[in-house]
Amino acid sequence: MVGPHRLPCETPEAHQPSDVEPADTRWVLPATILGSSMSFIDGSVVNVALPEMQRSLGASLGTMQWVINGYLLTLASLILLGGSAGDRFGRRRLFIVGLIGFALTSLACALATSAVWLIVARLAQGAAAALLTPASLAIIGAAYRGEKRGSAIGTWAAAGALTTALGPPLGGWLVDAVGWRSIFFINLPIAAAALLLAMKLPADCEPKSSERLDLTGSMLAVLSLGLLSYGLIALGEGMSIRGAAAIVATVPAAWLFVRTEARASPPLMPLSLFRDPDFSGANALTVLLYAALSGALFLLPFMLIEVHGYSAMAAGAAFLPFSVIMGLGSSWSGGLVERVGSRPPLVIGPLVTAAGFAILGFSGNDPSYWKGFLPGLIVVGVGMTIAVAPLTTTVFNSAPTDKSGTASGINNAAARTGSMIAVAALGLAVGGTTGADAGSGGLANAYRVVMYVAAVVAALSALTALVWIRPGQGARSASSKECPNKR
């Protein structure tokens, strides 16, 4: 994925007009696709393994929520720091550090002997992903321009989806045949292959300044999101006073974070980026759309396995059409912004996704996969395919290129924050129990509620695009977003 040279935007030659893509970009997509696919695979495979983890560890739903949210908490909180660190110390360097960290923390997850150990390891794994995820996409954003950028992002999304399409069924088979620990061991060979490719990435330029990273802002982000997640999970488990207190405490913590960012130099999250309505709207849409998706996909394996008696492998295979649709369609959707602007796909995609969630809620009591789940998953896949690549392209096009890592971090933080909030709030629908404790009827009712709420939230994300994203906005002028020449 890489070569021993500078990224194109960091060399004077890159700014000379040319219709030919520089040869040293040939490794960019292979390396970033393989590296970032680990976090994609991890998310989907862990969801499939949750029911088996719960039985093996004798855990409650709240514990399983923390297995997901521990990862999302550090990822969402520190991904901003990871994006800034990539701009400060070099995207390639942070990408390699993230790969190594993700491999080591995956090993720690696989060796966990208790729920507490697993949750702590997941917290560390999220921190490693906070370095890896923004660096991979920022490398692409810095290497390509204009329509090539949209196509590259679409190819990255498509290849990532296709790479991870086999993740859930493979993970389900591993859970059935070997046990849930094996789903973390599979990250080790993937990380090793990605690391070999990463050694070929274009060399980073020297640090642009000696400014320190905004560690205070990072800690306040962790505190704010941690309090919110704890509060929602506690409410779901019936601890009303603790939950309410934590949620109330989130408000001053979040205010301190915003105040710190307004005064920090440089800030972890530059508030000036949000002056662009496209950037603000895209991130608000991201929070809502990924909240809907993550809440639905968290509960779906429980419905398949605990209510309808699917094996883990069968439950994993249920996600295959969703992944394949995104994989086949994302390359095409990557160029939509250049052709029709940002707003149409960012309105239509979430509306189609909302319809898919509504179908899943209506038909979920049917144990037949072909009638009860496949139609809804197909529609959700089509809707997400229309939206995701244009959403990512819009974020990049609305931010200066020298802030690509920061913009990537903010958008990833928005996605993970939406996911974390949705997963934390699931206990309010499920009542803090699953499976035998809740009874299949209780879980089925909770499933319907979650799917219908997901449909409403996805529709709200479409409304956000309609109101916030400016019409007719396509690719930004490269001259206004180029990296400064390095002379």
Whether 372 has a pLDDT exceeding 80, the answer reads yes
pLDDT score, position 108: 95
260 Cβ neighbours under 8 A, 6+ residues apart: 214, 216, 217, 220, 267
pLDDT score, position 472: 63
Whether 87 has a pLDDT exceeding 60, the answer reads yes
Task: Report yes or no: 481 and 401 within 8 Å, Cβ to Cβ.
Answer: yes
Whether 367 has a pLDDT exceeding 60, the answer reads yes
Whether 405 has a pLDDT exceeding 70, the answer reads no
pLDDT score, position 269: 86
Class of domain 24-203+266-475: mainly alpha
d(CA 282, CA 287): 9
d(CA 242, CA 264): 32
Least confident residue range of 175-179, 202-206, 386-390, 396-400: 202-206
HEC profile for 217-278? Answer: HHHHHHHHHHHHHHHHHHHHCCCHHHHHHHHHHHHHHHHHHHHHHHHCCCCCCCHHHHHCHH
Whether 185 has a pLDDT exceeding 80, the answer reads yes
d(CA 79, CA 406): 9
Whether 365 has a pLDDT exceeding 50, the answer reads yes
Amino acid letter, residue 369: Y
**Per-residue DSSP letter, 484:** P
d(CA 188, CA 99): 10
Phi-psi region of 474 (alpha: psi -120 to 50; beta: other; left: phi over 0): beta
Whether 203 has a pLDDT exceeding 50, the answer reads yes
For the segment 191-196, the average pLDDT, to the nearest whole number, is: 88
For the segment 309-337, the average pLDDT, to the nearest whole number, is: 82
For the segment 337-360, the average pLDDT, to the nearest whole number, is: 91
d(CA 79, CA 66): 18
d(CA 478, CA 481): 5
For the segment 341-357, the average pLDDT, to the nearest whole number, is: 93
Note if the bond before 266 is cis, omega within 30 degrees: yes
d(CA 481, CA 395): 12
Closest Cα to residue 336, out of 405, 397, 283, 277?
A: 397
Listed in sequence order, the DSSP H helices in 369-434 are: 369-372, 374-397, 404-430
Whether 70 has a pLDDT exceeding 80, the answer reads yes
pLDDT score, position 160: 65
> What SS3 state is found at 6?
strand
Least confident residue range of 169-173, 178-182, 298-302, 327-331: 327-331
Whether 67 has a pLDDT exceeding 60, the answer reads yes
Whether 413 has a pLDDT exceeding 80, the answer reads yes
Q: Taking CA 370 as the corner, what is the angle to CA 365 and CA 372, rounded to the nearest 5 degrees?
A: 15
> What SS3 state is found at 203?
strand
* Cα 469 → chain centroid: 21
Of the pLDDT bands very low, low, confident and very high (cuts 50, 70, 90), residue 164 is: low
For the segment 219-238, the average pLDDT, to the nearest whole number, is: 90
pLDDT score, position 205: 61
For the segment 42-64, the average pLDDT, to the nearest whole number, is: 82
Residue ranges per domain, the chain?
A: 24-203+266-475, 215-265
Instruction: Tell me the pLDDT of the chain averaged across its residues.
Output: 81
Query: Does 330 or 106 have the greater pLDDT score?
Result: 106
**Per-residue DSSP letter, 24:** G
pLDDT score, position 12: 29
Highest mean pLDDT among 58-62, 165-169, 329-333, 364-368: 364-368
Instruction: Concatenate the DSSP letters of all residues of 166-191 into one string.
Output: THHHHHHHHHHHT-TTHHHHTHHHHH
d(CA 168, CA 310): 13
For the segment 210-215, the average pLDDT, to the nearest whole number, is: 76
Whether 21 has a pLDDT exceeding 60, the answer reads no
Whether 15 has a pLDDT exceeding 90, the answer reads no
Task: Report yes or no: 182 and 175 within 8 Å, Cβ to Cβ.
Answer: yes
Extended beta strands in 18-76, E state: none
Percent of the chain surpassing pLDDT 90: 32
Q: 282: exposed, middle or buried (C-beta count within 10 Å: 0-12, 13-18, 19+)?
A: buried
